[in-house]
Chains A and B, each alone.
Chain A
Amino acid sequence: MTSALFLLFGLAAIASALGVVFMRNPLMSALSLVGTLCSIAAIFVLYEAYLIAVFQVLLYAGAITVLFIFVVMVVQFSSQELKLPRLGVFKMLAFFLSLSLGSLIVWTWWSQSVTGKAGSHPLNAIVEEGGDVQALSQYLFSHYALPFEVASLILLIAIIGSVVLAQRPKKAPALSGGAVCIRHGV
């Protein structure tokens, strides 16, 4: 049952990831990105990483994709940009490179087994501790308190940076409302 579901969602994720790359319209790419992220969230559930799955849906499929769709709406495309690139030498090289990289990764994953020091959180210990959320947050706020603070600093810098970048230049002619909306959107 679990492996069948894993296969189903894995195939869905791969299909919609191919859709992201090969859709002609960037809006369709963004929508199939939503499909990929939701299938990946389902895979996280199958791995019993429930908190990560919730964050995947909220953060990626919610916030980031909405931001993408918003920018696709702001940016107008010429019809030339909507075409898929023609298959030249460099494009063939791109296909070849990514195919070889992918087969290398898959082959490594296939031929090696995972080794390493086993951690202290087998599944039954997590259940005893009060579930995924409690175990994860206790671990986060005890062992990883400093990285947590650094992450908040990164987010602050990102907010300031995007406000500065999206600011309208002083003497530039009037533009469509993109800059203002970006400031509110972030």
Chain B
Amino acid sequence: MLSGVIFSIGVLGVLYRRNILVVLMSLELMFNAANIALVALSRELHSLDPQIMVLFIMTVAAAEAAIGLSIVVAIFRNLKTVHVDELNQMQG
């Protein structure tokens, strides 16, 4: 329930905002919604597998945040903008 609501807020953020940083934050929201669903499932089914999966999701999310933010820094350095609609050229 809660995970569904937070996931759809994350989708809304990705679709609605044009700032690439806020889009990345909304991505983190969607990761977290999946984590809530998995922990609830783990409690419901008396199993630890979903919790292990949450640990791996957190690892991948940390890697994704590091890479994504360094891409943002590289984009900003070259183009001086983080506005998604202005990033429309394939070669700099």
Contacts and interface: CB of A to CB of B under 8 A. Distances in A.
A77 B4 contact: no
B37 to A, nearest CB: 8
A81 B1 contact: no
Contacts of A121: 46-48
A75 B61 CA distance: 22
B51 A136 contact: yes
Interface string A26-59: 1001100100110010011001110110011001
B5 A49 contact: no
A21 B65 CA distance: 17
B71 A165 contact: yes
Interface in B29-46: 29, 32, 35-36, 39-46
Interface residues of A, number: 86
B63 interface: yes
B65 to A, nearest CB: 5
Interface string A82-124: 0011000001011101110110011011100010111111110
B21 A97 contact: no
B72 A71 contact: yes
Contacts of B48: 119, 121, 126, 135-136, 139
Contacts of A172: 77
B46 A123 contact: yes
B69 A49 contact: no
Contact of B29 (A36, A78, A105): A36
A131 interface: no
Contacts of A52: 35, 39, 51, 54-55
Contacts of A135: 48
Given A44-B39, A49-B42, A165-B70, A97 B11 contact: yes
Nearest to B74: A165
Given A17-B9, A52-B54, A151-B59, A75 B82 contact: yes
B2 interface: yes
A159 B64 CA distance: 10
